[in-house]
């Protein structure tokens, strides 16, 4: 298992957090997603390292941007 950290810009509420968590959580091999609203920090536990482009696409699908 591997852990990766990202920064997401533009989140302002619990709905934002849920949307980001859901989209990233849908990527293949993702085991868990922790999102901290105040800082925009996202920590992902997955079976294998995730491609930045895949995470960026998931975050954009939720309506936000990787910082």
Q: What domains are there in the chain, each with its CATH number?
A: 2-66 (3.30.70.100)
- Give the closest residue to 64 by CA, choosing from 4, 6, 1: 6
Please state the pTM of the whole predicted model: 0.94
Could you read off the pLDDT of 9-60 as tens digits, one per residue?
999 999 999 999 999 999 999 999 999 999 999 999 999 999 999 999 999 9
Question: Which tokens in the block code for residue 30?
Answer: 């993702």
pLDDT at 2: 97
Interior/surface letters 41-64, b for 16+ CB within 10 angstroms, e for the rest: ebebebeeebeeeebeebbeebeb
């Amino acid at each position: 298992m591997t852990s990766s950290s990202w920064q997401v810009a533009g989140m302002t509420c619990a709905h934002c957090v849920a949307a980001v968590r859901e989209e990233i959580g849908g990527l293949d091999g993702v085991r868990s997603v922790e999102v901290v609203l105040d800082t925009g920090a996202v920590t992902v536990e997955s079976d294998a390292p995730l491609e930045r482009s895949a995470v960026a696409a998931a975050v954009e699908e939720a309506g936000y941007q990787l910082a």
